Amino acid sequence: MPLPARHSCRAGGAPALHHMHNNNSNYRYNGYSVSPSAHRLPDGWFAANLLLIRGDFQSAGAAQYKFDALDYFDSETQAVGHAATWAREWVDSRG
């Protein structure tokens, strides 16, 4: 069976090989620390991941939200960009 054609994203899951830290992508947005990242899968795709921390991560009242494999992409840049966009939409939808 031939492999599917590559496109900007795909559905489905696969185990991760390693996590890529994109430290230059970390930023603050409407009271949240936003840390989008990607990990490369064995088949060459990149999964978009996201860590959100509401408030000061050092305070007792901070809340942490972690989202793994939001979607899958051809490149790390696409995956990180998707996670960053998804973060803004998630934060905005919660007021």
pLDDT digits (tens, 9 = 90+) for 19-51: 444 446 799 999 999 999 999 999 999 999 999
Topology of domain 18-93, per CATH? Double Stranded RNA Binding Domain (3.30.160)
Task: Outline where the chain has alpha helix (H).
Answer: 76-93
- Angstrom distance (rounded) from CA 27 to CA 37: 12
User: pTM to 2 decimals?
Assistant: 0.73
Domain map of the chain by residue range?
18-93
pLDDT at 73 over 60: yes
Overall average pLDDT of the 76-82 stretch? 98
Q: Looking at residue 51, what is its pLDDT?
A: 97
Q: Quick one: which of 54, 56, 60 has its CA closest to 32?
A: 54
Q: What is the mean pLDDT of residues 41-67?
A: 90
